[in-house]
Chains A and B, each alone.
Chain A
Amino acid sequence: MPTINATVSPMPQVDARAPGKRTPSRHRLRQIRRYTLVILLALVFLFPLLTMVSTAFKLPSDVFHAPPNLWPREWTLANFAEAFDQIPVWRYLANTLFISGMSVLGTVLACPLVAYALAKVRWRGARPLLIIVLATMMLPPQVTMIPIFLIWNGLGAVGTYLPLIIPAFLGTPFFIFLIRQFLLGVPDELIEAARIDGASEFRTYATIVLPIARPAIITAAIFQFMWAWTDFLNPLIYLNDASTYTLSIGLYSFFGQNTVAWGPLMAACVLFTLPALLLFLLGQRFFIGGISTGAFK
């Protein structure tokens, strides 16, 4: 399991700094080949992001320059100023943060409850419910998209954040499953002991189960945050007033007006990506751990 330290470790000290001196052994050659391949791989994935950052700091004359150059001829913050001028970045950041934060709250409240019912409460509904949870994970969201829209529309909630937030409070199948899998690994004796002590079921849940399940809950919280942060389709369907836009929709709307304002657009993209990047750097072990359990990508 990677640690936070691992990500901020300095560039690797490549062993093959001076290959020419001795006749390199076969092992050495193989290591050089391995370093080359893996560094190349990392660069291929990183490169598009580098161009995003570099374009954001370029002057227009430099942006529209063929052939393209990665290093800006002259660094400028003009694109950021322009982006702030044309897009209410702070407002969109706040809106997106609010939606993401509320979704996380909903997930953290609801999912462990349901997971507990599936993993640790001995009742007849556990198995059928588990099958339902798994089945809904496979369901294309398009199947329910239109009726759900009509429900919210009937409630007069289209245009508000409710359709984007409330579902999280009703439990997300992916996270319920993730936390349930984690809880299965918690010994029953711990819970039984509390029950014998006369603690109510909810008290047992709150004081014993929740603290133990913290790693799984944090993983779910991080992924929920990322999903809400980057979501496009739901805000596209439900938000129609520019003052309520999330960053996704704000960018989409900006591009619809200025299809070639690449400098400011890339600047806005950088601002939009930074919070996600920060969360990734801080919570990397939860990311990698969460993915490796195979529950989601």
Chain B
Amino acid sequence: MSLRRPASAQTIPSSARKPGDRSSRRALWLGLAFASPFIIGFLFLFAYPIAASAFYSFTDFNLFQTPRWVGLDNYSQMFGNPTFWQSLGNTLYLTVIGVPLAIIISLAGAHLLNFPVKGQPLYRALVYLPSIVPIVVGGYLWRWLLNTQYGFLNYFLGLFGIDGPAWLQEPDWTKPAILLMTFWTVGGTTIIYLAALKDVPQELYEAAEIDGAGAWRRFLNVTWPMISPVTLFQVIVTLIAFLQIFTQPFILAQQRLNTPSAGPGGSMLTFAMSLYQNAFAFLKMGYASGMAWILFVLTLVITLIVLATSKKWVHSANN
């Protein structure tokens, strides 16, 4: 399982010599020298900023004046603030609906791309293609597709007798619009699934077929357990991506002259967007730092919950 593999000890060269040994000290210097770019990077781009961010979250700080210590004020303001809860709600809406659907779509897509038919490399390339399109381009492209008068989406819906909504103007429809756009770029997830499907030993299917299992049974009894470690990885990666979603809603909600926008009725304001606006449009750096910490803790807790439940549904190769 990709996420855990590095933590297992066997891959780390264990030092046979005792510390303090001459060559061990030489190795230490060598290691530090080779790792020095990242050690510097870690100190300046991670360690200090994390600590600083925690500090700022307890201050009132607008970028120009020195930070003023306010204790837990930013956090108590946050919890009493409907915009905070709305942005959290929007983000959880996207995550709770988006993650399972993205996983299902990718898995279904991978199944199709695994069919024994000619031209699969081409189909696979086409499915992945949207993932290399710059996200800003994707945003404008979807704004155009979702246009109520000239867009293709409502035109196609019309062919089925469905009167398409005003996707980006009606608060109830903006989040489905964001989801549609994100599902268009599940090509990466699909390709990881495709690789996993190809790794499932063929004998297992043959054995199941002899037992008289139909396609659905074979999927439940063979495929799903065999790919469950990959699913765990995908769920975590997709989850983190959705919890931090920024550019898609930001572009879909963009207004003339780039005034701070949250979409109709605030329906597109995600947590990361709200954080950006507080920091760079309202210059409330302290408050925004507090939001960043909430996001950090939220991501951590949800990831740990998923990992904790994974023992129940992730099939381990050992047993």
Tell me whether A125 and B187 are in contact (CB under 8 A): no
Tell me whether A170 and B53 are in contact (CB under 8 A): no
Task: Specify which of B31, B121, B136 lies most central, judged by the most chain A CB atoms within 10 Å of its CB.
Answer: B136
Instruction: Say yes or no: is A190 at the interface (Cβ < 8 Å to chain B).
Output: no
Query: Which of these, B38, B133, B187, contacts A273 with CB under 8 Å?
Result: B133
Query: Which of these, A124, A129, A140, A284, contacts B295 with CB under 8 Å?
Result: A140
Interface of chain A, main secondary structure: helix
Tell me whether B192 and A292 are in contact (CB under 8 A): yes
Whether A127 contacts B118 in the complex (CB less than 8 A), given A144-B53, A251-B136, A291-B192, comes out as no
B-facing mask of A246-259, CB < 8 A → 1, else 0? 01100111011101
Tell me whether B292 and A266 are in contact (CB under 8 A): no
Tell me whether B42 and A67 are in contact (CB under 8 A): no
Q: Which residues of B contact A110 (CB under 8 A)?
A: 37-38, 41
Give the shortest distance, in Å, between B297 (CB) and chain A (any CB).
10
- Name B270-302 residues within 8 Å CB distance of A: 272, 275-276, 279-280, 285, 288-289, 291-293, 295-296, 299-300
Q: Which residues of A contact B195 (CB under 8 A)?
A: 292, 294
Whether A45 contacts B150 in the complex (CB less than 8 A), given A143-B293, A167-B45, comes out as no
Instruction: Say yes or no: is B79 at the interface (Cβ < 8 Å to chain A).
Output: no
A-facing mask of B109-149, CB < 8 A → 1, else 0? 10011011111111111111111111111001110110001
Query: Which of these, A45, A148, A171, contacts B38 with CB under 8 Å?
Result: A171
Identity of the chain B residue whose Cβ is nearest the Cβ of A63 in the assembled complex: B150
Instruction: Say yes or no: is A46 at the interface (Cβ < 8 Å to chain B).
Output: yes
Give the shortest distance, in Å, between B187 (CB) and chain A (any CB).
7
Please list the 10 inter-chain residue pairs (A to B) with the smallest Cβ-Cβ separation, ordered nearest first. A12-B119, A170-B41, A123-B31, A297-B188, A117-B34, A6-B121, A147-B49, A144-B49, A147-B52, A171-B38
Q: Which residues of B contact A (CB under 8 A)?
A: 2, 6-7, 9, 11-16, 19, 24, 27-28, 30-42, 44-46, 48-50, 52-53, 56, 63, 109, 112-113, 115-137, 140-142, 144-145, 149-152, 155, 158, 184, 187-189, 191-192, 194-195, 230, 233, 237, 240-241, 243-244, 246-247, 250-251, 254-258, 272, 275-276, 279-280, 285, 288-289, 291-293, 295-296, 299-300, 303
Q: What are 13 sample pairs from A and B whose C-beta atoms fall under 8 A apart? A: A2-B124, A9-B119, A45-B184, A46-B129, A67-B158, A68-B151, A117-B32, A121-B34, A129-B38, A138-B240, A142-B291, A251-B137, A273-B134
With A122-B27, A139-B50 already in contact, 13 other A-B pairs whose C-beta atoms are closer than 8 Å: A7-B125, A41-B112, A42-B123, A48-B142, A66-B149, A113-B37, A121-B27, A124-B28, A126-B12, A134-B7, A143-B49, A144-B45, A237-B280
